[in-house]
Each structure stands twice: as structure tokens, then as C-alpha cells.
């Protein structure tokens, strides 16, 4: 069982190695990287490539570790008891299974995505230490220990908003998806737009990497934004010459709204373009 | 052999643990990688390093350890490229290598700076100037045990060896730069949650207790949501010597605005006197009396000054010392008034901590604040927030 990337996802060799190490040694894999470099997508693609079911757990600032295991719905039970519903006798009716419970009880090996773990409270990763290490937890209401039938492959993504505790990191493998270089980017674009005209792609990539070099941008455009932009360029049928017109008066790339997401950045860029134009 | 490698990483201050070494051995036993050093590098990095900020340190440590195997050059610096066009490689005998003196890194860098200042033209061969294929510690394609590799194409193929040599994660190292995001994380230390406002959240424990008291009839209890209740007054020094620190202050300000709900900001120049202002463009028209500020905000506010505190000592100590106007009372008097009103206060200084001792006014203000001055770095910010939260 080896992950090699898929026809719709370009994985560099260091990334596949990290994924395969996590599969072989059955440890969680922590993925970091700039926004838009395909962290979340990785779990979906791994699950698809290896033909395993995927369980997704998207973390918010209010998410508690317990919610990934199970939740006891006291309010419905209270209501049922008031209405005299016979279901109230059995507490298991009111235990809602969380993502990890579902994955642990799954009959085949599965992939679990814990997305944006840094969004949650600082203590969140610590509350999952034992669960991720032993792949088991205890349900107090049922007096029962839930143990994983097959250790799932756990992929965790983080945007670095909070530092993760050391004890947690020690248990994970780690990979930082760095921003793709030009060659990798060409492969990525090729996967998404197999029939893109060669010269359009060349010009577009040039504009894109130039744009990333502009100093002082608040948010640099990422891979996913490049893909969106190319989609727009295709939909509007922009000729490659329009992108090449760098020296000409319209030095701002067409449809730049897809690349720059911040009015300060657009403003800065317009000013730079204006100055470049005045110089020439 | 791997134990030595492990201890070497430890000695280079990479936080690695025994568990991770065992995982690495397990991975090797499972034949995850073939014998190539590149694959081993990637595997070791994924298993041992858990933070991209440490990638650079790992690259260097890895390079050092495996130097004997691959004879890696040192690291990059910025030098005009035309000097470095690859000339013929000079082959050195063992005796030649031994003769080359080993310079310490600091000394090498110092010399590099001097040479850069002196050297104006391209240079190849020889043993002093920066250029290609020589035995000077600078340039590339040559040999020196402590050499500084400058530019040059990665020779032929793009192997992972080149990755740790290029040190492309250098920018991520230690994040000395403050980013808005880093500042936000540091500011979160200030959070103090309190329940205030409209009761909109179901209080489950309260409901159960209430229902029990009610003899089994449902008694719903609601409570207000939790909010960050911290209140901050931010005083920013603006203009003059602070122009060098505009970006850091901008980032701090935008992070604070996003993170803190109750934030009031005021500008001053060099030192606080009887007037402050809220909009720097209209600083002369719309001055607020500092007395008004003192009377408006309650003692539960926390006080944060941002400024380099670098000025003439008279601006702090004497009436009339201000560079901009005639002040009736000395800056120190006003600072003390503010500090008496809000006892929780810190001063953030964008200048490096090591330089503070050279400016008398910094020492004076530090004393006024009771040593609660911190540098405007992530570490300093965390210390400041801890001091405020006490």
C-alpha cells in the first residue's frame, strides 16, 4: 500500500515519503504549509488513491476534543423522560458517535482528516494524546472502551495559528508543504487544465511568480488562487498577448481580483504599475 | 551510527526525543527508503523535525554530520552573480587542505564584509578574494574547510543534497520578524473570558440542577456567551525616530485591533504630555487633553506604550523640554499620572534590548515604568503580555 500522488494531485517526492512513512508506521501525519497549497486536499486524495473511506473532522474555535469521540445528548434524554418515551431506558440512544468513534469502528482501514487543528483551544491537542497514541478511548456512559479495529491513517492540518504542544508533536510525523517551484507548478496546472495553450500557461506563470515577488504584499497569491485565475482567463478567452503586455500601459494583469484578495494589495500593485509606467 | 547522528542533532539544539529515534529506526527496518542519502534525509526530516522553523537548523546539522560523505560547501550569502561564474575546479591534495587555515564563522563573515567592500571586480583563482575555484574561504567551486558558499548553480541535478545546502527554509527560521499572525497569537495571552451581555446560551448544568429543584419539570436556564473582556489603551509614539519602525508598529496595531474588542489608541511624540491625538493627520487640530483620557477610562484598562523612548533626557525630565511645543509639566510627571491611573502597564520598544543601555532616556523611562519595558519581538511581546496578565 503506497501513495504515489494521483492523476488530479501532484505530490512531490518528500510529501509521498512522509505519507508512506505515516502509513507504514501507523502514526498521525501533521501537515503545515501556506494557505492554498493543498493541505486539506491531501487527505481526500490519499483516501481516493488507496481506496479507503475518509472521515473528516473540521475544527472550529469552539470544537472540543470530546466531540470527536462521542457526545451525550442530555437535553433530548431529559425531554424524552418528560414525555415518557420508552427509549429513555437505554442511554446508548443518546450517545452520538464522533468522527474518531466512527473511524475506530470501521470494518476496513480508513483515513481520518483533522482539519485546521490550530483553530481549536490551546488544550485541544493535549486532550487527544492518548486517543491518537493508543487509538482507543473510554465511554463513561456505556462503561465500555472503544478500540480501533484497524488503526486509521490520521492526517492533521495546521495553519500555525497556535503552537502545538510538544507531547503532541512527538507522536506525529511532520511535513511542511513548501510553495511549489515553477516546474512543479507546471505539473499542477497541467493536471487541472490538460488542454491549456502552452504560451498562455507560460505567460500566466510568469505573471504569477512576478506577483509573488512584489515586496510588501499582505497576502501572496497561492496555488489555488492561480488555478482560479487560470479558469477565469480561459472562461474570458484572454489571449496570451494580453499577459505579455508588461511594458504597455496596462501593467496590471487582467482579472487580478482572483489573485489579490486585499484592497491594500491591489492598491499597492496599481501604484507600482503606475510608477513603472511613468519610468518607461 | 544513528545514535551519534541523534546526539549530534541534540547538540545542535534540535528538540528530538528517543521515541522519534526509535520511530526512525523502525522506518529503516521496514525498508521505507532505499539506501540513498537523499531519501534518508527526507525521512529523517519528516520523523525528527516537527516545526518548519527548525528545518533550517536541521539542514545545517545534517550537512555538518554528513560532510565527510558528501563534502558539502558551507552556506550562501548575497554577492553579485558575475563574480561567480563557474571556472575550472582546482583539485587540492590532502596536504593542501591541511594547510588551509580554519577560520571561525564569525571571522569569516567579518572578512567577507570587508572583502565585499574592497573588491570591485570579478576574481578567479587565488586565495584571498571572493570568486570561483580558489582556496579563499569565499565563493564557490573551491575548497576551504569553513568556506562560505556564495551563489553558483546547483551542480547539474536537483538532488535533496542541494536542498539542505540551499537552506531554503532559512526564512522560516525562528520567525524573528513579527508577522500579524504571530502578534495575534502573542496577544491571545491577554485573553480573559467573562460572561457579559444578553443570555443566549443554554446553561446545561444549570438547567439540570434547576429541573431537579423544580421536581422534574423542565426549567431552562440561559446564560450570556463568553467574550474576551480585556480592555487596552494603546499609546503609540509616532514620527521622528519612530519612522524606522513603521512596519512593526503597523503590524502590532492591526493585530491588536483584530484581537482586542476594547482597544483605544492614542498617538504621542517622543513622550506623553498634556495632549494626545487620535488621528495623526489632524494632530495639531484635534488634540485630546490627557486629563480627559485619564478621566474617561476606568482602572480596569491595561496600558501599553509603543515607542523607542529615544530622545533628549530633558524631554522626560524638564518642563519645556518637548521638541514640539512648550510643556508646562515634565514628561515624567505625565507618565507617572498615567501609571498611577492604570497600574498594569508595559512599554514596548522596537529597538533591540541590547542597545537600551546606551540611551539615557530609555533608562529613565524604564525606571519610571519599574523595568516593565520589553522589546518588540515575539519573545518580548509574550513577556509583556505575561506581565500585564499578572
Summarize pLDDT for A42-97 with one digit per residue, the tens.
999 999 999 999 999 999 888 888 999 999 988 888 888 888 888 888 888 999 99
> Domain containing B128: what range?
81-150
Tell me which residues of chain B, numbers 232 to 291, contact chain A at a CB-CB cutoff of 8 Å.
none
In a domain, B250, yes or no: yes
Chain B residue closest in CA terms to A28: B47
The answer to whether the CB of B187 falls within 8 A of the CB of B120 is no
Could you give the ipTM of this predicted complex?
A: 0.76
Q: Are residues B296 and B376 in the same domain?
A: yes
Residues of chain A found within 8 Å of residue B46, distances taken between Cβ atoms: 14, 17-18, 21, 173-175
Mean pLDDT of B84-102: 40
* CA dist., res. A139 & res. A264, Å (int): 51
* CA dist., res. B272 & res. A120, Å (int): 40
> pLDDT at residue B270 above 50?
yes
B231-237: strand order across its sheet: B287-289, B275-277, B262-268, B231-237, B302-306, B345-349, B373-375
Interchain CB contact of A245 with B (< 8 Å): no
Give φ, ψ of B165 to 5 degrees: -75, -40
The answer to whether the CB of B290 falls within 8 A of the CB of B303 is no
Lookup: cell for B254: 492591526
Confidence band, pLDDT 50/70/90 cuts, at residue B194: low
In a domain, A249, yes or no: yes
Rounding to the nearest 10 degrees, give the CA dihedral for residues A177, A180, A186, A190: 20
What CA–CA distances, in Å, run from B289 to B265, B277, B278, B285, B321? 14, 9, 11, 12, 18
Q: Are residues A48 and A78 in the same domain?
A: yes
Confidence band, pLDDT 50/70/90 cuts, at residue B184: low
Interchain CB contact of B211 with A (< 8 Å): yes
Lookup: cell for B286: 484635534
> Domain containing A221: what range?
182-279
Q: Which of B204, B382, B379, B237 is nearest to B315 (CA)?
A: B237
Confidence band, pLDDT 50/70/90 cuts, at residue A272: confident
- pLDDT value of position B281: 67
Q: Are residues B244 and B370 in the same domain?
A: yes
Residues of chain B found within 8 Å of residue A78, distances taken between Cβ atoms: 207-208, 211, 218
Lookup: cell for A89: 431506558
How far is C-alpha A163 from the chain's CA centre?
18
How far is C-alpha B369 from the chain's CA centre?
24
Q: Are residues A171 and A72 in the same domain?
A: yes
The residue from A177, A211, A231 where one domain ends is A177
Interchain CB contact of B87 with A (< 8 Å): no
Q: Are residues A169 and A62 in the same domain?
A: yes
Domain count, chain A: 2
Q: Strand pairing partners for A175?
A: A31
* CA dist., res. A145 & res. B161, Å (int): 47
H or E segment to which residue A115 belongs: strand A111-115
Q: Who among B20, B26, B181 is closest to A170 (CB)?
A: B20
Count of CA atoms in the C-beta half-sphere (13 A) of A125: 23
In a domain, A56, yes or no: yes
Among A104-108, A209-213, A273-277, B380-384, the range with the most confident prediction by mean pLDDT is: A104-108
Interchain CB contact of A32 with B (< 8 Å): yes
Mean pLDDT of B127-150: 47
Q: Which of B328, B376, B368 is nearest to B352 (CA)?
A: B376
Domain count, chain B: 3
> pLDDT at residue B175 above 90?
no
Q: Are residues A141 and A188 in the same domain?
A: no
In a domain, B182, yes or no: no
Residues of chain A found within 8 Å of residue B204, distances taken between Cβ atoms: 74-75
Interchain CB contact of B185 with A (< 8 Å): yes
In a domain, A2, yes or no: no
Helical ranges in A129-261 per DSSP H: 129-134, 166-171, 182-192, 198-213, 223-236, 240-244
- pLDDT value of position A110: 93
Q: Strand pairing partners for A29?
A: A155, A173
- pLDDT value of position A102: 93
Say if the Cβ atoms of A169 and B51 lie within 8 Å. Answer: yes
Share of chain B above pLDDT 90, in %: 1
* CA dist., res. B187 & res. B378, Å (int): 10
**pLDDT tens track for A128-155:** 988 888 899 999 989 999 999 999 999 9
Say if the Cβ atoms of B23 and A82 lie within 8 Å. Answer: no
* CA dist., res. B109 & res. A172, Å (int): 38
Q: Are residues B94 and B126 in the same domain?
A: yes
Q: Are residues A114 and A140 in the same domain?
A: yes
Q: Who among B43, B47, B204 is closest to A74 (CB)?
A: B204
In terms of DSSP bridges, do strands A54-58 and A111-115 run parallel, antiparallel, or are they unpaired?
Answer: parallel
Interface with A, mutate which of B38, B51, B161 (most A CBs under 10 A):
B51
> pLDDT at residue A9 above 80?
yes
> pLDDT at residue A222 above 60?
yes
* Residue B354 burial (CB count, 10 A): 8
Q: Mapping DSSP to helix (H, G, I), strand (E, B) and coil, where does residue A75 land?
A: helix
Q: Mapping DSSP to helix (H, G, I), strand (E, B) and coil, where does residue B216 land?
A: coil
Chain A residue closest in CA terms to B16: A170
In a domain, A22, yes or no: yes
Q: Are residues B205 and B219 in the same domain?
A: yes
Interchain CB contact of B39 with A (< 8 Å): yes
Q: What is the CA radius of gyration of chain B?
A: 29
**pLDDT tens track for B317-358:** 888 878 777 888 888 888 898 999 888 899 988 888 888 888
Chain A residue closest in CA terms to B205: A74
Q: Are residues B237 and B336 in the same domain?
A: yes
Q: Which of B385, B236, B255, B378 is nearest to B309 (CA)?
A: B236
Amino acid at each position: 500500500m503506497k501513495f504515489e500522488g494521483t492523476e488530479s494531485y501532484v505530490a512531490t517526492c518528500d510529501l509521498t515519503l512522509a505519507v508512506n512513512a505515516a502509513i507504514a508506521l501507523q502514526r498521525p501525519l501533521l501537515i503545515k504549509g501556506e494557505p492554498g497549497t493543498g493541505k486539506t486536499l491531501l487527505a481526500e486524495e490519499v483516501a481516493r488513491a488507496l481506496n479507503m473511506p475518509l472521515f473528516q473532522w473540521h475544527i472550529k474555535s469552539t470544537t472540543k476534543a470530546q466531540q470527536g469521540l462521542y457526545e451525550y445528548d442530555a437535553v433530548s434524554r431529559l425531554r424524552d423522560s418528560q414525555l415518557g418515551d420508552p427509549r429513555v431506558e437505554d442511554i446508548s440512544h443518546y450517545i452520538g458517535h464522533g468522527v474518531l468513534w466512527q473511524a475506530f469502528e470501521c470494518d476496513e482501514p480508513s483515513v481520518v482528516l483533522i482539519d485546521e487543528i490550530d483553530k481549536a483551544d490551546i488544550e485541544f491537542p493535549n486532550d487527544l494524546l492518548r486517543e491518537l497514541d493508543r487509538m482507543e478511548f473510554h465511554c463513561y456512559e456505556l462503561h465500555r472502551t472503544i478500540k480501533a479495529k484497524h488503526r486509521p491513517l490520521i492526517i492533521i492540518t495546521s495553519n500555525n495559528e497556535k503552537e502545538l504542544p510538544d507531547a503532541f508533536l512527538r507522536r506525529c510525523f511532520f511535513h511542511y508543504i513548501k510553495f511549489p517551484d515553477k516546474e512543479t507548478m507546471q505539473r499542477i496546472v497541467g493536471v487541472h487544465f490538460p488542454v491549456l495553450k502552452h504560451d498562455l500557461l507560460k505567460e500566466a506563470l510568469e505573471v504569477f511568480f512576478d506577483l509573488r515577488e512584489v515586496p510588501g504584499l499582505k497576502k501572496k497569491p497561492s496555488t489555488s488562487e492561480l488555478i482560479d485565475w487560470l479558469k477565469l482567463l480561459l472562461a474570458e478567452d484572454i489571449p496570451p498577448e494580453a499577459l505579455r503586455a508588461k511594458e504597455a500601459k496596462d501593467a496590471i494583469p487582467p482579472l487580478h481580483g482572483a489573485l489579490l484578495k486585499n484592497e491594500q494589495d491591489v492598491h499597492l500593485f496599481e501604484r507600482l504599475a503606475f510608477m513603472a509606467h511613468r519610468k518607461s | 551510527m544513528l545514535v551519534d547522528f541523534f546526539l549530534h542533532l541534540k547538540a545542535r539544539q534540535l528538540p528530538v526525543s528517543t521515541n522519534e529515534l526509535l520511530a526512525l529506526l523502525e522506518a529503516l527496518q521496514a525498508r521505507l527508503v532505499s539506501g540513498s542519502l537523499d531519501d534518508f534525509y527526507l525521512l529523517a526530516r519528516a520523523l525528527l523535525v516537527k516545526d518548519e522553523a527548525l528545518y533550517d537548523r536541521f539542514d545545517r546539522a545534517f550537512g555538518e554530520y554528513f560532510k565527510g560523505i558528501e563534502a558539502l560547501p558551507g552556506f550562501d550569502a548575497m554577492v553579485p552573480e558575475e563574480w561567480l561564474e563557474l571556472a575550472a575546479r582546482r583539485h587540492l591534495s590532502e596536504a593542501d587542505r591541511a594547510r588551509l587555515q580554519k577560520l571561525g564563522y564569525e571571522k569569516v563573515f567579518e572578512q567577507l564584509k570587508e572583502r565585499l567592500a574592497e573588491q570591485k571586480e570579478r576574481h578567479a583563482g587565488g586565495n584571498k578574494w571572493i570568486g570561483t575555484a580558489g582556496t579563499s574561504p569565499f565563493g564557490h567551486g573551491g575548497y576551504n574547510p569553513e568556506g562560505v558558499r556564495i551563489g553558483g548553480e546547483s551542480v547539474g541535478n536537483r538532488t535533496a543534497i542541494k536542498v539542505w545546502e540551499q537552506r531554503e527554509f532559512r526564512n522560516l527560521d525562528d520567525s524573528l520578524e513579527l508577522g500579524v499572525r504571530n502578534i495575534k497569537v502573542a496577544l491571545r495571552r491577554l485573553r480573559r473570558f467573562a460572561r457579559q451581555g444578553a443570555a443566549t446560551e443554554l446553561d446545561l448544568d444549570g438547567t439540570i440542577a434547576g429541573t431537579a429543584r423544580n421536581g422534574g419539570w423542565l426549567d431552562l436556564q440561559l446564560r450570556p456567551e463568553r467574550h474576551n473582556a480585556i480592555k487596552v489603551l494603546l499609546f503609540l509614539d509616532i514620527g521622528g525616530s519612530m519612522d524606522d519602525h513603521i512596519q512593526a508598529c503597523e503590524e502590532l496595531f492591526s493585530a491588536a485591533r483584530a484581537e482586542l474588542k476594547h482597544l483605544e489608541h492614542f498617538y504621542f511624540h517622543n513622550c506623553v504630555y498634556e495632549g494626545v491625538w487620535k488621528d495623526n493627520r489632524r494632530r495639531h487640530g484635534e488634540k485630546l487633553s490627557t486629563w480627559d483620557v485619564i478621566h474617561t477610562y476606568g482602572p480596569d484598562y491595561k496600558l501599553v506604550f509603543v515607542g523607542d523612548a529615544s530622545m533628549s533626557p530633558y524631554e522626560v525630565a524638564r518642563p519645556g523640554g518637548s521638541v514640539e511645543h512648550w510643556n508646562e509639566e515634565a514628561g515624567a510627571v505625565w507618565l507617572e499620572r498615567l501609571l498611577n491611573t492604570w497600574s498594569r502597564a508595559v512599554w514596548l520598544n522596537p529597538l533591540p534590548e541590547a542597545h537600551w543601555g546606551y540611551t539615557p532616556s530609555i533608562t529613565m523611562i524604564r525606571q519610571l515604568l519599574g523595568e516593565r519595558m520589553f522589546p518588540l519581538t515575539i519573545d518580548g511581546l509574550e513577556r509583556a503580555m505575561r506581565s500585564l496578565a499578572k
